[in-house]
Amino acid sequence: MSLLSYEGFAVLTIFMLALDLYQTRGGKVTIKKAALWSVFWVVLALAFNVVIYLYWPLMAPDSSYTNSEAATAFLTGYLLEKSLSVDNLFVFALIFSQFAVPEAIRPRVLMLGVVGALILRAIMIAVGAELLTQFHWILYVFAAFLLYTGYKLWREDEEEQEDFSQSLPVRLVKKCFRVSDDYKGHKFFVKDSKGWIATPLLIVIAVIALTDVMFALDSIPAIFAVTKEPFLVMTANVFALLGLRSLYFVLEGMLTRFCYLRPALAFILSFIGIKMLLMETSYAIPTPVSLGVIVLTISAAIVGSLWKTRELKTS
């Protein structure tokens, strides 16, 4: 893999993060604006897929992939990560509700969550790629983990919401710092008569950081079942996460309507786990087939959910 590809994409990522931060400046995000930017990020990902198709040999001169194989792997990985990232939105909404995060600071909190997720995933991709190179049996550990995660998601009770108020990050912050009752804008610490005191925003960021780790543990093994090319794994993750903030504000009022999303994600994770188990056998599932399964499953879940909850649209 050309080092220039990584350096160039790192610069592009920084530019895209800055652009994402700029378009949500001031803390005011309308649904129309968020929808337009959500479309923009999807179009940008598809444009990058075209670049991969046209210039893959220049981007990765040592890769065994053909142009079309690389483009298909990126698109499949991107759609997989995008589908899994939607589950993040449910958790973000729950965290914002439980900790009463003011609407004005939610865009900044989401940005910090996205940046944290990108850093964590970059580390895990590098470690995962090295482990797969050195220890082939790790592939089966990843597969078993995906099947277990899919099973847990199947059994999960959607009515039983997780309580983050007593989670480990909350206990650690409260053990190390005094915490104020009120938010102070974007500040993590303020000074009172007794010295420095943390604001609830520090707790929220700590909780989101933990959820970033948990989601990365699911998504990184999943995309390695699609492709072992670290560059494709990284770029698919970056593009999937970049539009997450805008997508949150588009779907914020509709999240309760996606009643079939969790079962769909459980099926996808289980399918990807099986694909990983079969990768080195004569029954290996081709990437285009995986792409079709992901698209059909998510499409069916969205259409089915909106149809079942159509009465909520007018309520």
The full 3-state SS of 75-92, as one line of letters, equals HHHHHHHHHHHHHHHHHH
Which residues, including other chains, have CB under 8 Å from residue 235's CB and lie 6 or more apart?
Answer: 9, 48, 74
Residue 35 pLDDT: 84
Among 225, 242, 245, 283, CA closest to 73: 225
With 60 as the cut, is the pLDDT of residue 158 above it?
no
With 60 as the cut, is the pLDDT of residue 3 above it?
no
Contact between 229 and 70 under an 8 Å Cβ cutoff? The reply is: yes
Which residues, including other chains, have CB under 8 Å from residue 311's CB and lie 6 or more apart?
Answer: none
With 60 as the cut, is the pLDDT of residue 160 above it?
no
Distance separating alpha carbons of residues 153 and 266, to the nearest angstrom: 5
Alpha-helical runs (H) found in 135-260: 138-155, 168-176, 200-224, 230-242, 244-251
pTM of the model: 0.84
- Please give the share of the chain, as a percent, with pLDDT higher than 90: 18
Among 212, 19, 233, 42, CA closest to 142: 233
- The mean per-residue pLDDT over the stretch 121-134 comes to 83
Alpha carbon 174 to its chain's center: 28
Distance separating alpha carbons of residues 194 and 179, to the nearest angstrom: 12
Name which of 159-173, 237-251, 298-312 the model is least confident about: 159-173
Among 301, 232, 253, 242, CA closest to 103: 253
Among 51, 49, 96, 95, CA closest to 73: 49
Which residues, including other chains, have CB under 8 Å from residue 142's CB and lie 6 or more apart?
Answer: 128, 221, 224, 225, 276
With 70 as the cut, is the pLDDT of residue 176 above it?
yes
Distance separating alpha carbons of residues 276 and 44, to the nearest angstrom: 29
With 60 as the cut, is the pLDDT of residue 135 above it?
yes
* Helix (H/G/I), strand (E/B), else coil: 243: coil
pLDDT band at 120, cuts 50/70/90?
confident
- The mean per-residue pLDDT over the stretch 245-250 comes to 80
